[in-house]
Structure 1
Amino acid sequence: MHHNIDIVIADDHEIFLDGLSLMLSRQHGFKVVGRASNGAQLLDIVNKAKPDVVLTDIKMPVLDGIASTRQMLQTWPDLKVIALSMFDEENLIVEMLEAGAKGYLLKNAHKNEIAEAVTSVYEGKNYYCAKTSSALAGMIVRSKFKSTTSDPIIELSERERTIIQMICCQRTAQEIADTVYLSKRTVEGCRIKIFEKVKVKNLGGLIIFALKHKLVHENELI
């Protein structure tokens, strides 16, 4: 990595902002270069600090995360934006992705996941929160949001397709093993290979991939 990943964070709750700022500052390779408590302030700080990644709350005073994301990306098209959301803001998450955000996290995400999301979007990938509900996955697939990377044709074997379907339906490794006549350990190995092959980090990403490529239907998901 050529330098620290410079990050600006925006949230109108000071305690959350303090905690997130401290947590990110302690991560190796990250540098918090600005903090904002509303969207207008965020635009101002991004203009001065020129960060690589912005983590922004969606609901903020003066200018919300959706409007500020649109404006930021008009001016700085290479900026990577991650939406910070409450669990019940699914429509707003979709609007953030359509506005140009590259990923989203629930505010109660584990610090390792936040670090993974920042690194992923910095590297040009999309990041879907591990706790993505099947309803939200369906909304994303049906939305105007198109992942930046045009999906190369990924060849999947019949067995891989079956395993993907069962993972998306939240079957355990043992249940999958019993169905495809493999050992539990082999299934766990297959799961890791599948995540690498389809370039997703977690179950949320896999569900979106599977819905998009019609490997599963929404009504099959829990």
Structure 2
Amino acid sequence: MYDIRLVIADDHEIFRDGLALMLSRQPNINLVGQAGDGRELLELLATTEVDVVMTDLKMPLMDGITATRTLLQRYPHVRIIALSMFDEEELIVEMLEAGAKGYLLKNADKQEIIEAITSVFDDKIFYCRQTSSKLAAMIVKSRFNPYRDAPPITFTDREKEIIRLICLQYTAQQIGEKIFLSKRTVEGHRTRILEKMNVKNTAGVVVFALKNNLISEAELL
């Protein structure tokens, strides 16, 4: 695996430095720059080859949403991850509509941050594990639709049953007990379901299922 060239944009220097220190220990991630606002980010990309950008939503001079729209007009190959606080659902939706490939809450752990970077680099959509039912429903109702140009995906009746139970937060063990399968068999089904949907976690399954009418919003309440 070769280096993923990454830039971080956030107006809080301490947060940036902490993130940079953690990522500096990852052998396949090369932090090539930092920016304190959207304008700085655009200036940096004018002179730096970048694969992935992690950017805060709220920044002075130019916010992350405006910067994302401009950035993708100039550099459509760049993958963008939004960094947000827990109460910024509407801004997260705007960011996805602007072209971001994923989002993370700022309190995400190291493993999830690395997973998000590698996922969007591989052109997958990444939904934060802490995605609430409210945010999932907002994403479904938004203009954001990464599945628009994808070929139709078919699921077996068994897969549809497991998808519904995943969305309802059942564990593999609980699903197995409910539909009389071993935990290992359920985990195999789950792996294939995630591969078909091109998502990385339960939050991705929920959004896909809602977007494609495999479960209703009312069932998640």
Q: What is the TM-score normalised by the length of structure 2?
A: 0.94
Q: State the distance in 1 between where 2:111 and 2:97 align.
A: 26
Are 1:16 and 2:15 counterparts? yes
Give aligned-pair identity as a percent: 57
Are 1:131 and 2:130 counterparts? yes
Give the match for residue 73 of structure 1. 72
Q: State the distance in 2 between where 1:39 and 1:171 align.
A: 40
Q: State the distance in 2 between where 1:46 and 1:124 align.
A: 20
Secondary structure in 2 matching 1:153:
coil
Give the match for residue 165 of structure 1. 164
**What amino acid maps onto 1:11 in structure 2?**
D
Question: CA distance change for structure 1 residues 184 and 104 in 2, over 3 Å: closer, same or farther?
Answer: same
Secondary structure in 2 matching 1:48:
coil
- 1:177-213 Cα shifts (integer Å, max 9, x gaps): 2321222332233222322232211011000110011
Q: State the distance in 1 between where 2:182 and 2:49 align.
A: 50
Q: CA RMSD in A?
A: 1.5
Q: State the distance in 2 between where 1:149 and 1:108 align.
A: 31
**What amino acid maps onto 1:28 in structure 2?**
P
Are 1:115 and 2:111 counterparts? no
Question: CA distance change for structure 1 residues 183 and 162 in 2, over 3 Å: closer, same or farther?
Answer: same
Q: For 1:90-109, list aligned pairs within 5 A.
A: 90-109=89-108
Q: State the distance in 1 between where 2:149 and 2:211 align.
A: 12
Once the two structures are TM-superposed, the CA of residue 148 in structure 1 deviates from its matched residue by 6.6
Uncovered stretches (5+) of structure 1, i.e. residues with no partner: none
Q: State the distance in 1 between where 2:119 and 2:149 align.
A: 16
- 1:26-80 Cα shifts (integer Å, max 9, x gaps): 1111111110111111111111212111100001111100011111111111111
Aligned residues: 221
**What amino acid maps onto 1:155 in structure 2?**
T
**What amino acid maps onto 2:6 in structure 1?**
I
- 1:130-185 Cα shifts (integer Å, max 9, x gaps): 11111111111111112177332222111110111011011233332232122233
**Contact 1:54–1:82 (Cα < 8 Å) also in 2:** yes
**Contact 2:38–2:67 (Cα < 8 Å) also in 1:** yes
**Contact 2:125–2:198 (Cα < 8 Å) also in 1:** no
**Contact 1:141–1:208 (Cα < 8 Å) also in 2:** yes
**Contact 1:70–1:99 (Cα < 8 Å) also in 2:** yes
Give the match for residue 154 of structure 2. 155
Give the match for residue 180 of structure 2. 181
Q: For 1:205-220, list aligned pairs within 5 A.
A: 205-220=204-219
Q: State the distance in 1 between where 2:182 and 2:8 align.
A: 45
**Contact 2:84–2:105 (Cα < 8 Å) also in 1:** yes
Give the match for residue 34 of structure 2. 35
Are 1:52 and 2:51 counterparts? yes
Question: CA distance change for structure 1 residues 158 and 151 in 2, over 3 Å: closer, same or farther?
Answer: same
Q: State the distance in 2 between where 1:68 and 1:148 align.
A: 24
